[in-house]
Structure 1
Amino acid sequence: MDVLTKNIIFVGGKGGVGKSTSAAAIALQSAEQGFKTLLISTDPAHNVGDIFSTNIGGKTKEIADNLYALEIDPDIETDNYIKSVKENIRGVVHSGMMEEVHRQLDTAKASPGADEAALFDKLISIILEERANFDKLVFDTAPTGHTIRLLTLPELMGVWIKGLLDKRRTTNENYSRLINDGEPVEDPIYDVLRIRQSRFSKAREVLLDKKQTGFIFVLNPERLPILETKKAIELLNKYDLAVSTLIINKVLPEDADGDFIMERKKHEKQYIEMIKETFTKQQLIFVPLFSQDIISEKHLALFSEYFRKG
């Protein structure tokens, strides 16, 4: 697979299609080729630890030679995110208001989107800072909907913060003319927003850099995963994020027999044709349905053999 030459690889797809298995196989193959690899799970289900039969958690852990893993916990990251916001406003908000502001921030932890914002912050930190310690980053992302939002957030939040900066700048200019004899006023909040805007911009550059970053979607030869993958690719294209590779997983093997299986293969053949007709711009990798669960490094090695056939 051409995408395996990238330094940063995102693996997404509908829940249950074999996304975590694919990401784990890609990461293990990369490590075996001599690349120091970090496998990051952003999926709350966190199947990576189960695949490698180990507890991973929120701190980077070595799970095989050259292979490290990290499971991002949205609750922990949300707590850390709120703490950082509290630090940023220290000295900016009047001391008499701090208690109420902290109460509002603690309430915000439960608000819709808070965990995604925190997850996104952690994602940016890994992309901008942590990658200096590794040759390859492989992201096992949440099911498709969350993946889309995570990958499109740099542009969306960049636009949002630019609006805040413009408004803040205008307010500061007006304030300095009225109160400060035209001298610039110090504004720590403006500085924080500007730093965040810069980080979002850098993250977006990395995501859009086809030399560095590649995107893979995993699907099964079934109607709903095909339709969902098609919608996801179309949406990412609007943000100039091109999905170059598809792994079609759990394809019934040629030597499968029995009346039920043969009838199922007839339907599957139609869906495989549909995949070939729908995704003409993507490299297609077909992986058969295995007779057992993929729960060991040996199984992952067998799984990754099909990457070389693509």
Structure 2
Amino acid sequence: MQVLEKKIIFVGGKGGVGKSTSAAAIAWKSAEEGHNTLLVSTDPAHNLGDIFNQSIGGKTTNVSKNLSALEIDPEIETNNYIKGVKENIKGVVHSGMMEEVYRQLDTAKASPGADEAALFDKLISIILEESEHYDKLIFDTAPTGHTIRLLSLPELMGVWIEGMLQKRQKTNENYTQLLNDGEPIEDPIYDVLKTRQERFSKAREVLLDGKVTGFVFVMNPERLPILETQKAIELLDKYHLHVKTLIVNKVLPDDVDGNFLLQRKGHEQQYMDTIKETFTKQQLIYVPLFSRDIMDKQQLNDFSKYFVKE
């Protein structure tokens, strides 16, 4: 599985297809091969603790040799994000307006996109600051729609901040000419925006570097996961984020018996053919349907054996 060679791996897919299990198995295999690995869940419905049968939560937790895990809590990260914004505007906003500004910021916690912005901020911190402490970073992302919004934020936010900087610079130039005798004025807001632009730019460079970052999508051989995966790949392509590996999970074994399962297997084969015809540019990894849920490290190890390099 070529994607295992990447330092940073994002695992996405429709809810319920085995995305978290696949991400955990990739991380497990990486750790077994001797790589110091961090597995990060950005999915609000965290499953990593259940898979490893231990509490993980919002602090980096060791789960086995060479493997640590972290479950990012969107609510906590949103609160931290708003707290950071409040700190940044101190000394910039007039003291008489602070109470109203703080009230507006607290209201913004519940606004659409607030969680994604906060998660993205945490994501950048992990990629830029934590990556030097690990050989591999594996991200178990939220279901497809959230993943696309999260991964497209570097480009979208970069464009937005560039526009803000240009307007701010123009305003500063006008103030300089009118009020400051040509001497550049100090502008902490501009400095904050510039710093964030640089962080977004670095994060985007990492995401776009195919030698460093890989994208894996998980699907089942069923109609809706196939359609959703196809749309996700096409959309991510527009942001120059290319999914090159697909895990086809929960494939019925060839030796099924009984009339119901035989009919189901024949129906499934039609979708398997569709997958081969549709995803010609992706490496396809097939993982069978196990007789039991993946609930311990031995079962996770068995799952990971299907991730072989071709």
Q: TM-score range by the shorter chain?
A: over 0.9
The alignment's C-alpha RMSD in Å is: 0.7
* 1:306 CA drift (Å): 0.9
Counterpart for residue 95 of structure 1? 95
Counterpart for residue 251 of structure 2? 251
Please say if residues 2 and 309 of structure 2, whose CA atoms lie closer than 8 Å, have aligned partners that are also in contact. Answer: no
1:224 aligns with 2:224: yes
Counterpart for residue 132 of structure 1? 132
Residues 163-204 of structure 1: CA distance to partner in whole angstroms, max 9, x if unpaired? 000000001101111111121110000000000000000000
Residues 29-48 of structure 1: CA distance to partner in whole angstroms, max 9, x if unpaired? 11111111000000000001
CA distance in 2, matches of 1:112, 1:279: 33
Q: TM-score, normalised by structure 1?
A: 0.99
CA distance in 2, matches of 1:132, 1:171: 39
Q: Could you tell me which amino acid in structure 1 is paired with residue 203 of structure 2? A: A
Residues 275-299 of structure 1: CA distance to partner in whole angstroms, max 9, x if unpaired? 0000000000000000000011111
Going from structure 1 to structure 2, the CA distance change for 1:110 and 1:284 (only over 3 Å counts) comes to: same
3-state SS, counterpart of residue 307 of structure 1 = coil
CA distance in 2, matches of 1:82, 1:309: 44
Percent identity, please: 76
3-state SS, counterpart of residue 284 of structure 1 = strand
* 1:309 CA drift (Å): 6.5
CA distance in 2, matches of 1:286, 1:63: 26
CA distance in 2, matches of 1:301, 1:65: 13
Matches within 5 A, 1:2-21: 2-21=2-21
CA distance in 2, matches of 1:109, 1:240: 30
Moved over 4 A (4+): none
Please say if residues 285 and 309 of structure 1, whose CA atoms lie closer than 8 Å, have aligned partners that are also in contact. Answer: no
Residues 212-244 of structure 1: CA distance to partner in whole angstroms, max 9, x if unpaired? 000000000001100000000001111111101
Residues 51-108 of structure 1: CA distance to partner in whole angstroms, max 9, x if unpaired? 0011111110101111000000000000000010011111111112111111111111
Q: Could you tell me which amino acid in structure 1 is paired with residue 158 of structure 2? A: G
Counterpart for residue 80 of structure 2? 80
Matches within 5 A, 1:60-209: 60-209=60-209
Counterpart for residue 270 of structure 1? 270
Gaps spanning 5+ residues in structure 2: where? none
Q: Could you tell me which amino acid in structure 2 is paired with residue 152 of structure 1? A: S
Q: TM-score, normalised by structure 2?
A: 0.99
Counterpart for residue 298 of structure 2? 298
Residues 128-165 of structure 1: CA distance to partner in whole angstroms, max 9, x if unpaired? 00101111000000000011011111000000000000
CA distance in 2, matches of 1:171, 1:252: 64
CA distance in 1, matches of 2:227, 2:112: 27
3-state SS, counterpart of residue 257 of structure 2 = coil
3-state SS, counterpart of residue 186 of structure 1 = coil
CA distance in 2, matches of 1:241, 1:101: 37
CA distance in 1, matches of 2:95, 2:155: 35
Please say if residues 248 and 287 of structure 2, whose CA atoms lie closer than 8 Å, have aligned partners that are also in contact. Answer: yes
CA distance in 2, matches of 1:92, 1:152: 30
Gaps spanning 5+ residues in structure 1: where? none
